[in-house]
Amino acid sequence: MEPKPIDLRHLDHERVIGVYLVETPEGLALFDCGPRTCVPVLVDGLRDRGVELADVDHLLLSHIHLDHAGAAGTLARMNPGLRVHVSEIGAPHLVDPARLIVSARRLYGDDLDRLWQEPEPVPAENVRATGDRVAGLDCFPASGHASHHVCYVDGDTVYAGDAAGVRILPQRSILPAAPPPDIDLEAWTHTIERIEARRPSALALAHFGAVRDIDDHLARLRETLAHWADGVRTASEDEWIAATRAELAEAEGADAAEHAQRAAPLDQSYAGLARYWRKRAEAA
């Protein structure tokens, strides 16, 4: 199946959050599901593809951030047979999302309800911890953006979640979204190498679209991640955000730059990268 995202039209904006319908050897799957706020749009998007939610056998989660997995509990209640696949690290937080909600409240405050809504628990019997194979597809750990991130491989397509960055196609700019709490630059570099080793012809990004210029994309992701991390190390939050916003606007135009930041807010990336450097300093 050609990787073509279902646009969840988050907050009525196009091309911010996408999920993918995947035909696996073990039945129909959904790669990521978006937040609870987008469930009606997701159901309609499936129907536009001739699929009812009850027809979906598997939910393949890249990681448990609310823009990717916030609707998982709701979908499992709507489709009790849904098998929800997630990393072993992430699984307990789907079953009991209390700590996830506290962390999200810390990041979003009262805006959490408008943006995502609180996730409902996924029944434990629906949850499957990922291994090397999931629903007949290859699966591999992809930490860096998050410690609990995994990618799935269907033929020559890597369903990359946020491991390959944010790029609102047809834009060229890549935003290595780096929210707290567990950004790890060394792990992210290893993840990029794992993706390269697969030699894919497509990277299915949640934000937003299927990348085809793989070598160039991954080279620029690596370069931008290093550039952002170095900038955060030497600049204040206001200085770094202003400089990065200006770079994006110069490359894509002001409107396109603002669009990209809906998927990857710069203040969150500053916070995540600053925390990474702070933890490194404390460890040293």
DSSP string, 33-89: ---GGGHHHHHHHHHHTT--GGG--EEE-S---HHHHTTHHHHHHHSTT-EEEE-TT
- C-alpha 79/C-alpha 129 separation (Å) is 19
pLDDT of residue 74: 98
What is the predicted pLDDT for the residue at 65? 95
In this prediction, residue 53 carries a pLDDT of 97
pLDDT of residue 284: 83
Q: Which of 142, 115, 159, 168 is nearest to 7 (CA)?
A: 168
For 128, the 3-state DSSP assignment is: strand
Amino acid at 16: V
In the block, residue with structure tokens 């307990």: 92
Indicate whether this model's pTM tops 0.85.
Answer: yes
pLDDT value at residue 82: 98
Q: What is the pLDDT of residue 216?
A: 97
Q: What is the CATH number of domain 6-283?
A: 3.60.15.10
Instruction: Compute CA 52 distance to the chain's CA centroid, rounded to the nearest angstrom.
Output: 24
What is the reported pLDDT for 109? 87
pLDDT at 257: 86
Tell me the domain boundaries of the chain. 6-283
What pLDDT does residue 51 have? 97
The pLDDT tens digits along the chain (284 residues) read: 679 999 999 999 999 999 999 999 999 999 999 999 999 999 999 999 999 999 999 999 999 999 999 999 999 999 999 999 999 999 999 999 999 999 889 888 889 999 999 999 999 999 999 999 999 999 999 999 999 999 999 999 999 999 999 999 999 999 999 999 889 999 999 999 999 999 999 999 999 999 999 999 999 999 999 999 999 999 999 999 999 999 999 999 989 888 888 999 999 999 999 999 999 988 88
Tell me the chain's radius of gyration from C-alpha atoms. Answer: 18
- In this predicted structure, what is the pLDDT of residue 106? 86
**What's residue 283's pLDDT?**
85
Q: Which two tokens stand for residue 109?
A: 């405050």
| Integer Cα distance of 75 and 34 in angstroms | 11
